[in-house]
Homo-oligomer: A and B are copies of this chain.
């Protein structure tokens, strides 16, 4: 086994791949070239055949790693949320005040992702573009219940739970912490997409990150009241 000692190791649910793509050179190539190809073509026009051509391999070989292209998308989203949780832990550890922790969390969730180059075969910035443009396709399918059963959305749910816990720490009486957090996560993705393609659905302002400001203010005011 060619286990590379990478700085971090993002764990993805085993049911989302047939063979762990992180465990071989070909697997890493699939990730490394697959992400920019989905970003370029869009998920609908992306095919394993096209990816095989790019990495000079074959369709059949990619199918040995992923059952189908939808599982590949689930793998990528699952990786992304696990990675986000890891970043979040780092950004909030040792911070006493829960309001500060929540503010930093919302900033991280809603701001633009830049690549940190820690993982050479995954471009986090392009991956976040995919999440912004296509993540709803991960669950917007008739298979959602089966996929949920095998743990396809576990890392997403875990992230939402972890942040909801901070909300409850700030206001134990707040009734809708999960709704609030999933609204922020999905919403910020939508707003970023809208600001590029359907600007009339947003309020893009120069010189500030309107999306982060909007969700930060909204959160503070929503949870700081007791009723």
How many copies of the shown chain assemble into the complex? 2
Q: Flag if B178 contacts A182 (CB, 8 Å).
A: no
Distance between Cα atoms of A213 and B190 in the complex (Å): 22
Distance between Cα atoms of A183 and B179 in the complex (Å): 12
- The residue in A41, A139, A211 that gathers the most chain B C-beta atoms within 10 A of its C-beta is A139
Chain B residues contacting A205 (CB-CB under 8 Å) are 175
Q: Flag if B197 contacts A160 (CB, 8 Å).
A: no
Q: Does A2 sit within 8 A of B, measured CB to CB?
A: no
Chain B residues contacting A140 (CB-CB under 8 Å) are 133-134, 136-137, 193
Q: Flag if A203 contacts B178 (CB, 8 Å).
A: yes
Q: Which of B137, B144, B156, B221 contacts A222 (CB 8 A)?
A: B221
Chain B residues contacting A44 (CB-CB under 8 Å) are 141-142
A interface size (C-beta, 8 A): 51
Distance between Cα atoms of A227 and B194 in the complex (Å): 25
Given contacts A140-B136, A175-B205, A210-B176, contact A182 B153 (CB under 8 A): no
Chain B residues contacting A211 (CB-CB under 8 Å) are 179
Q: Flag if A139 contacts B210 (CB, 8 Å).
A: no
Q: Does A187 sit within 8 A of B, measured CB to CB?
A: yes
Instruction: Name A208's closest neighbour in chain B (CB-CB).
Output: B175
Q: Flag if B137 contacts A137 (CB, 8 Å).
A: yes
Given contacts A200-B160, A222-B217, contact A186 B190 (CB under 8 A): yes
Q: Flag if A197 contacts B156 (CB, 8 Å).
A: no
Q: Does A191 sit within 8 A of B, measured CB to CB?
A: yes
Chain A residues packing against B (C-beta within 8 Å):
41-42, 44-45, 133-134, 136-137, 139-142, 144-145, 148, 153, 156-157, 160-161, 175-180, 182-183, 186-187, 190-191, 193-194, 197-198, 200-203, 205, 210-211, 213-214, 217-218, 221-222, 225, 227
27 contacts between A and B (CB under 8 A): A41-B142, A44-B142, A136-B137, A136-B140, A137-B137, A144-B197, A145-B197, A153-B198, A161-B200, A175-B205, A175-B210, A175-B214, A176-B214, A178-B201, A178-B202, A179-B191, A179-B202, A179-B203, A180-B214, A180-B218, A183-B187, A186-B186, A187-B187, A218-B218, A218-B222, A221-B221, A221-B225
